Amino acid sequence: SSEVLEAIENVIQGVLQSLAQKKAPVLTVANRTDWRNIEFKDSVGLQMIPCSTAKQIRSDCPQSAKRFALMLKILSMIYKMVQSNTYATKRDIYYSDTLLFGSQSVVDQIINDISCMLKIPRRSLHVLSTTKGFVAGNLCYTEEDGTKVNCTCSATVCIINHKHLNTKDLTSRAKFMLIVEKDATFQRLLDDDFFNKVSPCIMITGRGIPDLNTRLLVRKLWDSFQIPIFTLMDADPHGVEIMCIYKYGSVSMSFEAHHLTVPSIKWLGLLPSDLERLNICKDALIPFTKQDQNKLASIQKRPYIACQPLWKKELEIMAASKLKAEIQVLTSLSSDYLSRVYLPNKLQFGGWL
């Protein structure tokens, strides 16, 4: 806490010094979204280079004066929360003055900029992500207040929140972790009691693009148990993008890569090559949109694809066919094909990349 308070005080001191010298105060923030500031390392994923280019948020420039003011406003809110040991979600901050902030995305970007500028992980700023992900399976832990939680019962699905990151006595007999892209597939696997039938496992879903808490939990479970982690995604560019966020991280959060990425994650399915191998009817597949084509082309150029020749091959199959498929396409073979045939076979015979 003292480190956070001191970092904020240093920023404000810089602002006051500029004013004392009759200069316009400026906040300097690393350019988080510029690929030139990012390097790829096998062991970490995408991380920000130490000497990254920065952008200046000036108080005397019409284009950035409002952003400068909003950054100071949110810095003051963070300072008060850290001092009083209270927490707020990004949503709480936005709704504290919707007219001032204008949109939730403005608040989200500023909080990430502040975290990057102060070089302090976002959770240490007492700002929480809105809860989104779920975890279930062979996992027991004790919460901060002493509450014991057992996710092993198939009816127990825990919402992933900041409490998970401070849990103690994590225990599991799981042989692997399965990250599922979508909530609907996750719920279907729960209904089929998948994590007890094949072998004990932990299932996680970020329900689409994962929030920070879900990514932090995946990393925490990897650090704790060192068991294989597989992903189950749609066979489309969006699914590949989500899998890459878990495995290699995102450009915008590359300054926190060491806490968030798990480069050992494997691609279990749905592979583009599976669609041909399983004779999935062409009518069940969905044609690419222009957006899909652009997204796939962008992924193919990323530095981590070059060191994944098998992934590269799958993406080429997808690009050539210009067709995509959701995991639910497997129900065209039989209603429980995913949990009864597809996943058990893949896990037993090593059908992952």
pLDDT value, residue 155: 59
Burial readout 255-282 (b: 16 or more C-beta within 10 A, e: otherwise): bbbebbbbbebebbbbbbbbbeeeebee
Distances (CA, A) of 176 to 55, 154, 287, 299, 310: 42, 17, 33, 27, 22
Q: Quick one: what percent of the chain has pLDDT higher than 70?
A: 97
pLDDT of residue 163: 66
pLDDT of 255 higher than 80: no
Band of pLDDT at residue 72, cut at 50, 70 and 90: very high
Please state which of the ranges 34-38, 61-65, 68-72, 258-262 shows the lowest mean pLDDT: 34-38
Res 259: pLDDT: 79
Measured distance CA(262)–CA(260) in Å, rounded:
7
Compute the average pLDDT of residues 132-152: 82
Q: Can you give the pLDDT at residue 333?
A: 85
Residues in contact with 252: Cβ distance below 8 Å, sequence separation at least 6, in sequence order: 32, 33, 112
Give the mean model confidence (pLDDT) for residues 64-71: 90
pLDDT of residue 164: 63
Contact 141, 190 (CB under 8 A): no
Stated pTM of the model:
0.81
Q: What is the rounded average pLDDT for all residues in the chain?
A: 86
> CA–CA separation, 48 vs 30, rounded Å?
9
The residues annotated with a catalytic role in the active site are 95
pLDDT above 90: residue 143? no
Phi, psi for 159 (deg, rounded to 5): -75, 130
| The predicted structure's pLDDT at residue 101 | 92
Structure tokens at 335: 């209603």
Q: Which of 136-145, 178-187, 287-296, 308-317 has the lowest mean pLDDT?
A: 136-145
> What is the mean pLDDT of the segment spanning 262-270?
91
Report the DSSP pairing between strands 54-58 and 26-30.
Answer: antiparallel
290 — pLDDT class (breaks 50, 70, 90): very high
Buried b (16+ CB within 10 A) or exposed e, 130-150: ebbbbbbbbbebeeeeeeeee
Query: Per-residue pLDDT tens for 147-166?
Result: 788 877 655 677 777 666 66
pLDDT band at residue 273 under the 50/70/90 scheme: very high
Distance, in Å, from the CA atom of 1 to the CA atom of 105, rounded to the nearest integer, reads 26
Alpha-carbon distance of 339 to 98, in angstroms, equals 45
Most confident of 122-131, 141-150, 281-290: 281-290
pLDDT confidence tier of residue 16, bands split at 50, 70 and 90: very high
Q: Report which of 310, 313, 135, 326 is spatially closest to residue 238, judged by C-alpha positions.
A: 326
Confidence of residue 107 (pLDDT cuts 50, 70, 90): very high
Question: Among 138-147, 239-248, 320-329, which stretch is predicted with the lowest mean pLDDT?
Answer: 138-147
Which is higher by pLDDT, 313 or 164? Answer: 313
Give 232-243 pLDDT, tens digit per residue.
Answer: 999 999 999 999
